[in-house]
Amino acid sequence: MDAPGPAALLRIFIGENDVFGDQPLVDALIYKAQQMGLAGATALRGRIGYGGKRHPSPSHLVLSQDRPIVVEVVDVRDKIDTYVAAIDPMVPAGLITVEAIEVVRYGRGS
């Protein structure tokens, strides 16, 4: 992504304990985004959550050791679509969403 303008925001909802090969899935997803030259990627750890096949009881929500993770990736839609295809084998379960966004500023300050 070279300048502000139309872009896409990808969100990947996974669990903290999810793995790909011998590394945490969250790390593998961020490294893959960097390897593919995407504009930016961030992993956010949630305090509490559920979804998909995970429907814990209220007590498990608080005590869960598998906290929710959201990986957010921003770039133009074509690059996001290519990234989604590349990570498909890495994310066998989870929720993946894409939405259109407008990038207002991109790049480093002086």
Q: How far apart are CA 23 and CA 17, in angstroms?
A: 10
Segment 43-68 mean pLDDT: 70
Residue ranges of the domains in the chain? 5-103
Q: What is the pLDDT of residues 17-43, one digit of tens each?
A: 999 999 999 999 999 999 999 999 999
Q: What b-and-e string marks burial along 40-55, b requiring 16 or more CB atoms within 10 Å of the CB?
A: ebebeeeeeeeeeeee
- Residue 78 token pair: 């074509």
Q: What is the pLDDT of residues 59-98, one digit of tens each?
A: 555 556 778 999 999 999 999 999 999 999 999 888 999 9
| Domain 5-103, CATH number (from 3.40.50.150, 3.30.70.120, 3.40.50.1220, 3.40.50.360) | 3.30.70.120
* pLDDT number for residue 59: 55
Which pTM was predicted? 0.86
Q: How far apart are CA 57 and CA 3, in angstroms?
A: 46
Of residues 56 and 72, more confidently modeled: 72
